[in-house]
Structure 1
């Protein structure tokens, strides 16, 4: 915190994510958001400190204010602004944003959000055809790749149409699945994204194993990125060994 406050152009610092909402566990990263005065200072950083993983994001006030004018930005940002915990706010910049976020009503976005949802569905048509083509030819890789895009094209459309805000990316898939109270939608989307019990856990363990192997196989001189990745791989190895 002391380091961030000393940076030139820092207007405010606030805690976001699971720690701000009181939902953190031992694997949660600490999300620290920094409001800066210019685009030149916008950058993100990830680091381990005192045994915790810190994710530090820097953004301008203008970028955060897009949550009040753009429905897709609002999905991802309104809850973070509403629930953020101020750590450094000498001029009340964050307090002003938070007050506006808490007072903001989705009703003013409904028309624009529905138009954006329709645009996303139109954009998904190409991926729909890729799925049909892959299924007809037995090309599983083509189907899987198209499904990655459809996960977010359809998910964002559902969230926009229903005005469902995203408090954390960890809940994106379940929020999108449950956005419409339609059993056929919920079943189809849940299957599309792999929310099927053992399949999810198997995919999760495979993802961890793949990460560890990728770190081991990537050739890179020692730098911050390599150090960070190797520390994460060490933790992955311990997790898989103890699970």
Structure 2
């Protein structure tokens, strides 16, 4: 049984579901990068939100992930930087499997015509909000480092990994072709050696101890605040205050 055989059976089944208007293929199979452990990613466009849900199952030995969403939700990727980060690439490159009304084709044309520069400008503001929102996690890291509480450090690192990474990606207008590349794309988003070294260590790509990863998280936060362009306001004040606190901690503890 091949992937093509699975799709040949799956697509007609999905077509019979209530509310379905289009079906398209995304993920590693569509990109030609699948291996024996890859899932088969199928996206379904439905008329209204009442039909929106996701499902995962095995079909003839293949793990099949079916995501259902409305065209309106998908179209948010044209203007919202966070939605674009996770969805725009799949809209631009997806392969139509069923599209009788041309709804997916229209979405794809719009996706390929998106003004990436405008998305990036909007993304910079959202990146700043992401960073400011992590002040509490930054304090958890410092508290864990002070008490030698590795569990507290690791817990806080989870939030910082994705908030700092998403901020870097949003501020540079990067798109995710696959979530599997999230960490490396976030690491390389800014052409800045200090950021890359600190973020790599923070997320565990270097095999460092929890303490070293915690210290790296502080450095990554400070560097992110430095690299972003801030508008004056409460978010800037919070982020700058947290960065100063982190830098003081680094100076006194290392």
**TM-score normalized by the length of structure 1:** 0.80
Partner of 2:200, secondary structure, is helix
Q: CA deviation at 1:112?
A: 1.6
Cα distance in 1, alignment partners of residues 61 and 190 from structure 2: 40
Structure 1 vs Structure 2 CA RMSD:
1.3
Deviation at 1:104, TM superposition (A): 1.0
Deviation digits for residues 218-238 of structure 1, max 9, x if unmatched?
xxxxxxxxxxxxxxxxxxxxx
1:48 is paired with a residue whose SS is strand
Separation (CA, whole Å) in 1 of partners of 2:174 and 2:79: 16
Question: Are 2:40 and 1:30 equivalent residues in the alignment?
Answer: yes
Runs (5+) with no aligned partner, structure 1: 200-243
Report what 1:60 is aligned to: 70
Distance 1:82 1:183 in 2: 31
Match of residue 204 from structure 2: 194
Aligned match of 1:137 = 147
Structure 1 residue 109, shift from structure 2 partner: 1.9
Q: Deviations over 1:189-238 (max 9, x none)?
A: 11111112699xxxxxxxxxxxxxxxxxxxxxxxxxxxxxxxxxxxxxxx
Q: Deviations over 1:116-159 (max 9, x none)?
A: 01111100111111100110011111100000000011000000
Q: Secondary structure at the match of 1:47?
A: strand
Cα distance in structure 2, aligned partners of 1:42 and 1:96: 20
Secondary structure in structure 2 of the residue aligned to 1:54: strand
Equivalenced residues, count: 199
| Cα separation, partners in 2 of 1:114 and 1:64, compared to 1, 3 Å | same
Q: Which residue of 2 aligns with 1:100?
A: 110
Offset of residue 28 of structure 1: 0.4
SS of alignment partner, residue 107 of structure 1:
helix
| Partner in structure 1 of residue 228 of structure 2 | none
Question: Secondary structure of 1:26's partner?
Answer: coil
Correspondences of 1:42-61 after superposition (within 5 Å): 42-61=52-71
Work out whether 1:159 is the aligned partner of 2:178: no
Q: Equivalent residue for 1:13? A: 23
* Separation (CA, whole Å) in 2 of partners of 1:11 and 1:195: 42
Say if 2:201 and 2:207, in contact at 8 Å, map to a contact too. Answer: no
Provide the C-alpha distance between the structure 2 equivalents of 1:197 and 1:14, rounded to a whole number of angstroms: 39
Determine if contact 2:56/2:66 at 8 Å carries over to the other structure.
yes
**TM-score for both structures, normalised by structure 2:** 0.76
- Structure 2 counterparts to residues 84-99 of structure 1, below 5 A: 84-99=94-109
Q: Cα deviation per residue 1:10-44 (whole Å; 9 max; x = unaligned)?
A: 00000000011111111100000000001111010
